A = this chain, B = another copy of it.
Amino acid sequence: MKEYYLGLDLGGTKILAGLADAQGNIITRSRKETEAELGEDKIIENMIETIEEVLNKAGVSKEQVRTLGIGSPGPLDAKKGIIIENSNLPWKNVQLVKKMETALGINTLLKNDANAAALGEKWFGAGKKVDNMVYLTISTGIGGGAIINKELFSGVNDNACEIGHTVIDPDGPLCGCGNHGCLESFSSGTSIGKRAREAAAAGKSKKMLDLADNIIEDIDAVICAQAAYQGDQIAIDIFEKAGYYLGIGLGNVVNIFNTEMIILGGGVMKASDLFLDQALKTMKDIALPGPLEIVTVKEAELGSDIGLMGAIAVAMEDRLIKNE
């Protein structure tokens, strides 16, 4: 009997599901609104429907599926299969794995989205050839996942690699976590947008105000990037500064993980030409010669498929490690 794997990428607004063969090639995929505002039961119903749609399209039965992998925003307890809570989804200690297994009869594994993405890039993306890598997503927030000797490093209760919440300047801006000067408070899309709005409100950038039709609240990292590409010096400086602090974070990652590869993904990387040079320069200043010598920094390769391929990698991880 042919064997298949399912991946499900759960987001605040959309659910993506995909069916893969034993080589990790996606055969069919499906997409649905999360409808988070309709509550926990409705979200799970939508997840199940997305998976059934994927299976129906492919003409594959549940019995032919070996594992379902789910990538979800956290915090969550991967070992227990529980989502503890999330700012974009109305979860509170939801036994997600148990509920999915009961409804579908398919063995289910759960990981947080950054960890799933790290697994995706390791097995199907930029990290295919290395056994040790750290993935960083620079997005609304900054999340991370590390692969050590081919395996995901999860920590004792699935909270490892919160690199976005390491303090790199205690006099820095307030972070969503309540501290000052976390990496995330300098270099995430949210913080870039905040710096841009502050600059516009202080009358420093007419360009950004123009691009946002004079509505300061509409200025975000995307508009800041547009302004920078149009030569607005304030916007350029905001990205350079975000790059500088990202470089501190990367230098610290090099000195702590002594890894072969750092892979950078997430929406902010679409504007990488505005900050990556500065980040790499700072990283090289901070990193010690020994670990710097062997590390490479790459951009993520899976693009918008990273969540889905990550979820499939969650489902296939054991098999992939054994077959290598």
Contacts and interface: CB of A to CB of B under 8 A. Distances in A.
Contacts of A286: 165, 167, 179
B156 A132 contact: yes
A176 to B, nearest CB: 11
Given A155-B257, A166-B252, 6 more contacts: A158-B258, A160-B258, A160-B291, A162-B255, A165-B286, A167-B251
B171 A171 contact: yes
A113 interface: no
A12 interface: no
B157 A148 contact: no
14 contacts: A75-B289, A132-B155, A155-B258, A156-B258, A156-B259, A157-B258, A157-B290, A158-B290, A159-B288, A159-B290, A165-B255, A166-B166, A168-B170, A171-B171
A103 interface: no
Nearest to A132: B156
Given A177-B288, A286-B179, A258 B159 contact: yes
A188 to B, nearest CB: 15
A174 to B, nearest CB: 13
Copy tally for this chain in the complex stands at 2
B168 A168 contact: yes
Nearest to A258: B155
Nearest to A130: B156
* Chain A residues touching B, range: 35 or more
Given A148-B148, A170-B248, A252-B166, A257 B291 contact: no
Contacts of A256: 160-163, 166, 256
A309 to B, nearest CB: 24
A157 B289 CA distance: 11
B257 A160 contact: yes
Contacts of A169: 168-171
Interface string A8-51: 00000000000000000000000000000000000000000000
A170 B258 CA distance: 21
A136 to B, nearest CB: 12
Contacts of A277: none
Contacts of A285: 179
Nearest to A166: B252
Contacts of A163: 255-256
A294 B157 contact: yes
Interface string A161-196: 111011111110000010100000000000000000
Contacts of A167: 168, 248, 251-252, 286
A251 B252 CA distance: 14
A41 to B, nearest CB: 26
Contacts of A165: 255, 286, 288
B255 A166 contact: yes
Interface in A281-306: 285-286, 288-291, 293-294
A158 to B, nearest CB: 7
A228 to B, nearest CB: 23
